[in-house]
Structure 1
Amino acid sequence: MFIHYKNKFPELSKLWDTYEGFQEKIHLPAKHVLLREGETAKYYYYIQKGVVRAYLRTNTGEEKTVQFFFETDGLSSFESFMRAVPSAFYVETLEPTEVTRLPKEKVLELFERLKASPSFMDMVIYIFSDRQIHYMNEFVSFLKDSPTERFENLIRERPHILQRVPQHYIASYLGVSSVHLSRIKAKLAGKH
């Protein structure tokens, strides 16, 4: 959501630090579900160490990974968190993970305090445009690029995902089966 931008905006970092007493540090095992589809998000999470994924289940029960989160990323099911509606997503750890979580009421309080900052609008515009650009690029790539092109983009732009995320989740993220992803990898390996 926004705290992972704290290094870009010093006042955001200072405010986050003033909420240290309300932040709960949690050590979680792999495959721990932080939020289930249908639940209402009550916490904002900041990842200290580990990998988390957001996914949804299709009507046929198939899991579709929509995003991965790593160290220094912040997350919640944004719509659920902000509008108090049921989450469309599951949020789950993929490896042993350490997070700091802040309850919703404290996050909203922090927002209110941020509004007093002279650079508040700059922060809002930067953060939301950055996220919008990221999601729009993902959406356009999914519509325009072949699975092989999407995999090549992943190799080029976010190789850390390939190093830390199991192949079947990467396949789900790319919209292909694990078998198809294996074929793509073999084909690309044959080129080099």
Structure 2
Amino acid sequence: MDELRQVAEARTIPAKTILLREGRVAHTLYLIRKGCLRLFFYKDGRDITFQFFFEGDFVASFESMHQQRPSLFYLESIEPTEAYAIRKDDFYALIERTPGLRTAYEEKLIERFHAYQQLFLSRIKNTPQQRYEELLATRPDIVRRVPQHYIASYLGITPVSLSRIRNRI
């Protein structure tokens, strides 16, 4: 962490700040110290959230950053956030010389892949109520900290449907 702090910029990010826009190439990776970020895109004018990030998470548009292609989504703060921002080249150099950081980064990438896999399977197999119950059981931090309209978007339902589900449980 000390080496990371030496090459990263500590940032205080207000809520509802866009850190990366769809169509832009990502050059920065964030490590969240405190706060919450989300990844989302627009489809037919609707905001679709597909991932939340909290303390200790690395966040970027990884495909965009690694392949230098335009991002397919936005990165936004949900709540006031403190994060370390590190440029791609500085980060790659750092993980080459810091095996512990490389391992932590790889573990976070695997966790992220697993989360996407679970979300994908849940959308196919489960009803909206089952998806919400699964979220309550596996990620209560999201339910506690994230506004309902973002949770509804993440679950693939409307805020009204989410409200009805919450009233039934």
- In structure 1, runs of 5+ residues without a counterpart are 1-15
Match for 1:65 among 49, 68, 71? 49
Q: Distance in 1 between matches of 2:125 and 2:67?
A: 32
Distance of 1:126 and 1:75 partners within structure 2: 13
1:110 is aligned to 94
Q: Percent identity?
A: 42
Does 2:55 match 1:48? Answer: no
Moved more, 103-112 or 24-33: 103-112
Q: After the TM superposition, which parts of structure 1 deviate over 6 Å for at least 4 consecutive aligned residues?
A: 122-125
Q: 1:67-146 to 2 correspondence within 5 Å?
A: 67-113=51-97, 128-146=109-127
Aligned twin of 2:152: 171
Deviation at 1:136, TM superposition (A): 1.3
Change (3 A) 1:43 1:176: same
Report how many residues are paired: 168
Q: Separation in 1 of the partners of 2:17 and 2:55?
A: 17
Structure 1 position 186, deviation (Å): 1.1
Larger Rg, first or second structure (1 or 2)? 1
Specify the alignment match of 2:10 in structure 1.
25
**Structure 1 residues 87 and 158: CA distance shift in structure 2, 3 A:** same
Output the TM-score relative to the length of structure 2: 0.91
Cα distance change, pair 133–99 in 1 and its aligned pair in 2 (3 A): same
The separation in 2 between residues aligned to 1:134 and 1:26, in whole angstroms, is 26
Asked whether the 8 Å contact 2:16–2:76 carries over to 1, the reply is: yes
Q: Which residue is 1:37 aligned to? A: 22
Structure-2 residue corresponding to 1:7 = none
Cα gap change, 1:160 to 1:128, in 2 (>3 Å)? closer
Counterpart-to-counterpart distance in 1, 2:96 and 2:4: 13
TM-score w.r.t. length of structure 1: 0.80
Match of 1:147 in 2: 128
The AA in structure 1 aligned to 2:94 is L
Whole-angstrom distance in 2 between the partners of 1:182 and 1:127: 32
Q: What's the C-alpha RMSD, in Å, of the aligned pairs? A: 2.0
> How far, CA to CA, are the matches of 2:37 and 2:137 in structure 1?
21
Q: Deviations over 1:20-41 (max 9, x none)?
A: 2211001111100010001111
Alpha-carbon separation, structure 2, partners of 1:20 and 1:35: 22
Residue type matched to 2:165 in 1?
I
Secondary structure class of the residue paired with 1:19: helix
